[in-house]
Structure 1
C-alpha cells in the first residue's frame, strides 16, 4: 500500500505510520508500521507535528482481526483473549520502540512513557482476572520488552489491591515499566549474551539500577518515588540484594512492590524452560515472604492472586484434569481440587501429584 501524506488534523486511530516520525534528527517518537491510537495522535499534536506519512487502513478493517480466534501455541485446551492480546501487543511494541531508541543514549523520554504507555496499561487493569489472563497469553510474548509491560501491570494491580489512589497507581505502573531502564546503557553483547556471564559481566549487569536512577533523576517532573523504585527494585528485606545492600526500613515502598512484581513475572512469563505455572511461582513468593519480600505487600498480592485462581481448571502431573475448589491452608498456593471423577484431592497432603498448567479460569469464555 502506498504511503500518503496526511495532515495531523485528518489522522484517525487505526491508521498505520508509513515512516518513522521524528521531530528532530536524534529522536524518534513513533516507529514505522505503528497503528495509531488517540493517545498517540494527541502526543503528536503536542510535539507540533503538522503532517505524517501513513498507510491508510479503515478502523473497521483494522479491528476485524480482533474477533478471529488466535492460534494456541501451548496446551490445546487453553483459551486466549484476542482483544486483550491486541491491546497488549500494541503497548508492548511502543514500549519496545522507546527502549530500543534509548539504547546508548543519555536521556530518558519520560513523556513518552507517561503519555503513551501509562494510559494504555491503566486501561488494561480493568480486564477481569488480568493476572491469570496474562499467564495464558505467555506463549505469544516473544519480545523481551514484554517483561517491562508485565511488571508495570502487576505493580498497578498490587497498587489497586492495596487501595492506593490513581496518582500512586500511576507512579507504580511507570516504576514497573521503567524499572530496568538502566539496561539500555549496558552493552548489548553482555545484555543479550546467550551463554553464562563471566563474574565481570555479572557485576556490570548489576549496575543497571544505578544507570536507571541517573536517567530518571534527570527528569525534573518525574513522579516522586519512581527514582527509588528504579534504584532499589533488586534490594531485599534481609539486606541480601543489590546495588546498595540495604535492608527493609531503607527500601522505598514502591521498590518493595516492584520487587514482587519483577520476581513473579520472571518466574512465570519469560519464554524459558525453567518457567513455572502460577501456583508454583506463588509458592516461591510465599516461601520468601519474610526474608526477601515485604510481608504486608506479599500477603495482599498472594491473597488476590489465589482468589483469581479459585474454580480454575488445571492439568495435573498424572495427565488428568481437576477444578480448584479453594485454598485450605493460610498462605499456601496448594489448593483442594475436585477431580473429574468427583473425588477430592488436597495438594497439601501429597507430594506425588502437582499442577502442571492452567487450562482455564472461572471467567474464561471462548473468543467470540
Structure 2
C-alpha cells in the first residue's frame, strides 16, 4: 500500500463519519510541483478523541496539539485537527491550541507553499494564502506577518533556507528581511533540530544557494560560528567544493563543509569534531567526518605512499567518501588531480585487505610472552604483507623469527 492510498483510506473513513478531511501541506505542494510526495498528511475538523474512536490503531504523538498517527497496514498517516494557536512562549510550540476551522488552521502555518489543502478524490485545491502563485513564482513566503511566524517558531527560519535549497526557490524579500532580524534567536533552538535541517539542506540540489542564504542572513553564525568567521575566499571555496559533489552522503557533505577551518589537517579535524559534538552528530558520523578530514592531504602524498599506507586507507569503509571530498576540494582549489586519480585507480584493486597471515597465538607459540610486543610484531608483519615482502604464513613466521633473534 502506498502512502497516498493509506492516506486516502483515512480521508474516506473520516468523511463517511461526517467529518471534513483533506490532504494538507507538503504533499499538496509536491504534487503541484510534479514531485512524488514522501508522506501524506491529513487535516480534519474531527478532534483527536474522535479520530482515535474511528481508527483501531493509533498513536497519540501530539494529542495536546491535535496530532494523532493513524496506522494503516505498514504506513503511518499523520492526522491533525484544524487548530488555532495561542502565544509561543518557548519559540517552538504554542502554549495552548484551540480546535477551529480550516482557515484558522491554514493561517497559523509556516509558508504559503505549505498552506494548501487538497481534496484527494477530485484534486480540488483550497488555497487561501496564495501558495499556488508562489509555486509558480518559485518563492518561499511566510504566511501573514513573517516577524510573527519566526517569533512563534524560530526553526522556521532555517526551514526557509532548507526549502529554498530543496526546491531551488528564492526567499521572498520581506520574509528574508525578517529572517535576518531574528537570526540570532536560532541559537536557542535545540541543536538536534538544527542538525536535522542542516543535513537536509546540505543534501539538497540547491545546497550552495541555501548556504549562501545562511551566511547572508546571519543564521550561519547561530549554527556554526567558525564558518561564519571564515574569510570570504575560504567560504567561496567551501561552497564551491560542495557544489562539485553531485551526491552528498551525510559525512561527505559535512566534511566538505568543514574542510577549511584550519590549514593543518589534524587541527582542522579536531575543530570539526568539536563542532559536530556541539551539533549532536552521532558518534559514527562524527568519527567518519574526522577520519576524512584528517586524511584530505592523501592525494598530495599518493605517489610517495607505500602500499602499507594506501591499502588500509582505501580499504576503510569511508574511502569512497574520502575520494569524493578530495576530488571536489582539488577541483575547486585548482590543484593537480594526478594524486586523486592514482588513489581512485588503486581503490579498484581486490587486494586492499588480504587475510592476515598469522595471529597473536602464533607469535606466542614462538616464545614471545603475552604483552604489547605481540601487537608490535603483528603490525610489522601486516606492513610487510601489504608491501608485498611476504605472502604466506610460512614467510611471516620466518620474518618474525628473524626479528626475535635480532632483538628487533
TM-score (norm: length of structure 2): 0.30
Higher RCO structure (Cα 8 Å, ≥6 apart): 1
Structure with the greater alpha carbon radius of gyration: 2
